Structure 1
Amino acid sequence: MTFSDPAPVARTSAGDRRRWFALAIVMTAAFMDLVDVTIVNIAIPSMQRDTGATFSQIQWITAGYALAFAAGLITGGRLGDIHGRKRMFLIGIGGFTLASALCGFAANPEMLVASRILQGGMAAMMVPQVLSIVHATFPAHERGKVFGLFGMVVGLGAVSGPLLGALLTEWNLFGLEWRPIFLINLPVGIAGLVLGWKFISESKAPKALKLDLVGVVLVTLGLLMVLYPLIRGRELDWPLWGYVMMAGGIVVFGALVAYEKWKTAKDGSPLVELSLFKVKSFAAGIAVQTVFGVVMGIFFLVWTVYMQTGLGWSALRAGTTGVPFSIAVSVAAGISVQKLVPRFGRKVLQGGALVMAAGVLVYIWEADRYGADITSWQMALPLVLMGAGMGFIVAPLTDAILSDVPREHSGSASGLLNTVGQMGTALGLGLVSVVFFGVIDEKVARSQVPAEIVGAFQNSLWWVVGVLAVIFLLMFALPGKPRQHVEGADAAADGTDGTDGTDGTDGTDGTDGLGELPEREPALTS
């Protein structure tokens, strides 16, 4: 670029601003979804008092969202590839906002359950587009920085939900009890809809694809058959039909693989792009993501019950106790991708697993030493270690999984990435019935219940340590460094001609996904 050609500078500057605005919008939407997954748990007692909901209905207020979300993620990602990621993002965030309003104004438990299922389905349309838009908009050498920011958002969302839910419930704004936990999504969603329409430009797969309806039915059926028994198992005392259904779900997934192979050969428009699993970084990363979801499913539920039921803490105190964890995740996520991964690669993720395990071990020791008299400040050290370890994993893992994925399949890859995470979390929630509730003696005197819960908490954490050890070993299958961080890599990592490596476009017009021609910069090197 020369000084005599100022026009390209203006275009690049405008495009750069537009894509960073777009990033802020999609990250806000991702944060809104992450918060909504956890914000409900803290307000359940208030919901039950206000609506008279039965235990089964309360369970479905949380489980209905999770089922609809997990079942629709792969389909949502593929719809973005076919019909446009911006279009599906706007449909998703608009529907999510509407569903949030229906939840907030629900007149009875049945309406609340139905609205939560709708909310989960709309989140499944919205969330896969977040990573797809990032993947289509930013060149390879900038994605590390972007995924670092994404990791920070994940960390904040993980613990901000309980804290925000506690504050909104305690404040009882306008006498609305629990309803503000849903109504708070309205201004955020409306702003995201308006700004997204303005600043996000369209991108889609470069070749015309068709929606694989048979694949949609098979993947939805398979996920429901596996997740439904896991979610309802403890309530129904783990009936035989639940195990049969889960086994049948595995058979359905086998049929899905066979059908998708046939579909690929027939017209090249499968719902699940099986060729992605030939990419080593993607296949290994998906395995790690699934098992890491188990850790999240076990820890966060057990931790909440431990503090509120075992220690007798208020929702607000339990929520504020998680602040050190949130800060540690955010700081570590930014440092890991921007500073550590370019130099040390995969070792950063493995170090994260070890640091997180060390934090869990410290927590076990403290829970044993202090029992029910443990304080919030005594929990700070293990929570900081666990948060830092999680930060070292979540942001680089997303980068590693998607680094070699062709842009035309970014929607399908993003949907798979989110789906397996949800499946892992559901498996973790199912294991809670065994590793936590399963070791509590319900016949003890009321005064001994806290001690029982403390013991169950320690037992659950030992399981978390074991799962983290498995994650550490699985990480050996990840590439030593993401492709854009390998020494000597440059902007051509997106393709041999400075493009994204597909056909010279991001799926639209050969631009950076925002209608502007990007100026390529030197890549990060080790």
Structure 2
Amino acid sequence: MTFTHTPDTPTARPAPDEGGDRRRWFALAIVMTAAFMDLVDVTIVNIAVPSIRRDEGASFSQIQWITAGYALAFAAGLITGGRLGDIHGRKRLFLVGIGGFTVASALCGFAVNPEMLVASRVLQGAMAALMVPQVLSIVHATFPAHERGKVFGLFGAIVGLGAVSGPLLGALLTEWNLFGLEWRPIFLINLPVGIAGLILGSRFITESKAPRALKLDLVGVALVTLGLLMLIYPLTRGRELGWPLWGHVSMGGALVVLALLVAYERRKSARDGSPLVELSLFKVKSFAAGIAVQTVFGVGLGVFFLVWTLYMQEGLGWTPLRAGLTGVPFSLAVSTAAGISVQKLVPRFGRKVLQAGALVMAAGVLLYIWEAERYGLAITPWQMVPPLAVMGVGMGLIVAPLTDAVLSQVPREHAGAASGLINTVQQMGNALGLGLVSVVFFGVVDDHVAGAGLGAAYAEGFQNALGWVAAVLGLIFLLMFALPRRPAQHLEGAAEPETAAAEREKEPTPA
């Protein structure tokens, strides 16, 4: 999961008295809990996917859509969700999002067939797209600039905690089979958390809106959603349907739709200054390169995590708990390397840290391929620790400093819009990667392989998919040459620029 905020400077701030101070820390705890719930929900589902497939009789394409449907709805709605928060109020949209996310979680937990589960996951992703963009917007509206470094550090800890706890929690809930519900508690656990967030959020979060009236670009929303669907749906269903002609036409048409989006947004910007996508950002070299890096990185992660889970549980026959515990070294390595990269390495070595991360992660992938081939179906979790730890270190060197590197040359007034676009394309890349699993993994695994040949087929598909992931990381390394050598550093405790403070004082307080 990633965080986004909106382009306009929020205006409403709590008074700096003791009561206001307490309220803002309560508000921070609430939005961080919601962000944690969203992050865990992504990682918790991956570990339970094989159990869902067995218990519900879901097809391979339905399994892909349980994860890809969420990612696609999330990607398509992120920018729209942020803009709706600007227009109607960030607190209001956050409460709508967390309430809808809770309802969608209940629908997932009580789904009676794979079709209902897929539809509920799409709804869940759409609600997350309303909830998540408000998180950093609320932080900006609630905390002064000199405190935000501390707050963003807490967010980093939450991301690391979610990466570790999600797979483990999913494994435990699946293994325990609480009340005979099998995999369903992985969704139902969101209900008490969501209800508490809804009640406490309505009390402690302060409302804020954009300083000037904005309009929602409905045409832009429709074009973005249509273009993504036309691209990803054929990728996901194509192999299962024998790659029909309409699939190729749809993927080609997606490029036309996205080209229409660019042309329309250019006209929209000139006409009323409220486009869905701020195209002027792409004139910034580092931002354009960063968008490419985020998209391609999302593709690689989308392929790896789903294939990895299926390989361990379906191919090797491991239990969800054993698979979940196997992922702990990876998560710990990501968290550790992320903290070191931001605090120690990036200030000294700049862009080279990110490029080293891409190479280190690629080395870990290649080591994993070698081990999977050498040990075959007899491979143990302990033998997976070295490649997973190397991959985790590489990923940690990338994910933490990448956003700052991409945003460092973006004009201040467009920082929010740029952040939203970065997170959107990463989710879009993730959805695209999940669609490509149909080609790079299931294209190798024969649906009809049974018995002794099943594990070998999954092992071969896993190695093939990891070869593609290594190639993706090599491409990312090359794209990173376009990033700035020394990303701008945001020092905790730095005073807010006088001009920004003056502009805030002049802004009207929204009703």
User: What one-letter code is carried by the residue in structure 2 that aligns with 1:297?
Assistant: G
Query: Is 1:339 equivalent to 2:339 in the alignment?
Result: no
SS in 2 for 1:204: coil
Aligned to 2:354: 349
Stretch deviating more after TM superposition (129-138 or 65-74): 129-138
Matched, 1:201 2:206: yes
SS of the residue 1:205 aligns to: coil
SS of corresponding position for 2:132: helix
- The answer to whether residue 406 in structure 2 is matched with residue 401 in structure 1 is yes
How many angstroms does 1:409 deviate by? 4.8
Q: Give a deviation string over 1:350-389, Cα, whole Å, max 9, x none.
A: 2211221222222222222222211111111211111121
Change (3 A) 1:66 1:444: closer
The 3-state SS of whatever aligns with 1:306 is helix
Structure 2 unmatched ranges of 5 or more: 1-14
**Residue identity in the other structure for 2:305:** F
Q: Please, which moves more after superposition, 379-388 or 18-27?
A: 18-27
Matched residue SS, 2:503: coil
Residue of structure 2 in register with 1:273 after alignment: 278
Do structure 1's residue 78 and structure 2's residue 83 form an aligned pair?
A: yes
Q: Secondary structure at the match of 1:88?
A: helix
Distance 1:175 1:235 in 2: 32
Report matched runs for 1:94-113 at 5 Å.
94-113=99-118
CA distance in 2, matches of 1:149, 1:285: 24
Aligned partners of 2:145, 2:466: CA distance in 1, in Å? 37
Of 369, 372, 388, the match for 2:377: 372
The aligned residue for residue 308 of structure 1 is 313
Does the Cα contact within 8 Å between 2:69 and 2:431 map onto a contact in 1? no
Q: Which amino acid in the other structure matches residue 82 of structure 2?
A: G
**Superposed CA offset, 1:22-43 (max 9, x none):** 4443333222222222433433
| Runs of at least 5 residues in structure 1 that lack an aligned partner in the other structure | 1-9, 511-526
Residue in 2 that maps onto 1:227: 232
Deviation at 1:414, TM superposition (A): 3.8
Instruction: Give yes or no for contact 1:233–1:430 (8 Å, CA) kept in 2.
Output: no
Map of 1:46-57 to 2, 5 A cutoff?
Answer: 46-47=51-52
Q: Secondary structure at the match of 1:207?
A: coil
Q: 1 CA distance for matches of 2:134 and 2:56?
A: 35
Query: Does the residue aligned with 2:485 lie in a helix, a strand or coil?
Result: coil
Q: Does the alignment pair 1:328 with 2:329?
A: no
Letter of the 1:499 counterpart:
A
Gap change, CA 1:507 and 1:398, over 3 Å in 2:
farther
Residue in 2 aligned with 1:429? 434
Q: 1:432-443, aligned counterparts within 5 Å?
A: 432-440=437-445
Identity of aligned residues (%): 78
Q: How many Å separate the matches in 2 of 1:197 and 1:482?
A: 38
Distance 1:33 1:163, change over 3 A: same
Quick check: 1:254 aligned with 2:255?
no
Q: 1:218 & 1:44 partners in 2: Cα distance?
A: 31
User: Whole-Å Cα distance in 2 between the matches of residues 441 and 48 of structure 1?
Assistant: 16
Q: 1:216 aligns with which of 210, 215, 221?
A: 221
Matching of residue 499 in structure 1 with residue 504 in structure 2: no
Q: Deviations over 1:176-227 (max 9, x none)?
A: 2222111111122123223433443334333221111111111111121112
1:188 equivalent in structure 2: 193
| Aligned residues of 2:300 and 2:433 also touching (Cα < 8 A) | yes
Separation in 2, partners of 1:255, 1:283: 19
Q: Distance in 1 between matches of 2:146 and 2:482?
A: 22
8 Å contact kept, 1:293–1:423: yes
**Are the counterparts in 1 of residues 351 and 486 from structure 2 also a CA contact under 8 Å?**
yes
Q: Matches of 2:267 and 2:405 in 1, distance apart?
A: 29
1:287 to 264, 284, 292: 292
Hey, what's the Cα distance between the residues in 2 that align with 1:434 and 1:109? 22
The Cα of 1:326 is off from its aligned counterpart by 1.0
**Equivalent residues of 2:96, 2:131 under 8 A apart:** yes
Partner amino acid for 1:503?
E
- Measure how far apart 1:137 and its partner are: 5.4
Secondary structure at the aligned position of 1:483 is classed as coil
> Distance between the aligned counterparts of 1:179 and 1:455, measured in 2?
31
* Matched AA of 1:370: Y
C-alpha spacing 1:22/1:399, structure 2 compared with 1 (3 Å): farther
Structure 1 residues 479 and 148 mapped into 2: Cα distance closer, same or farther (>3 Å)? Answer: farther
Equivalence for 2:97? 92
CA shift in 2, pair 1:415/1:229, >3 Å: farther
Aligned to 1:42: 47
**CA offsets 1:391-450 (integer angstroms, 9 cap, x no match):** 111121123334555676555434322221122112222332333333346787742433
Aligned to 2:7: none
- Confirm or deny: 8 A CA contact 1:90 1:197 kept in the other structure: yes
**Structure 2 CA distance for partners of 1:315 and 1:415, relative to 1, 3 Å:** same
TM-score w.r.t. length of structure 2: 0.86
| CA RMSD across the alignment | 3.1
Contact 1:294/1:426 (<8 A) preserved: yes
Q: Partners of 1:481 and 1:18 in 2: how far apart?
A: 37
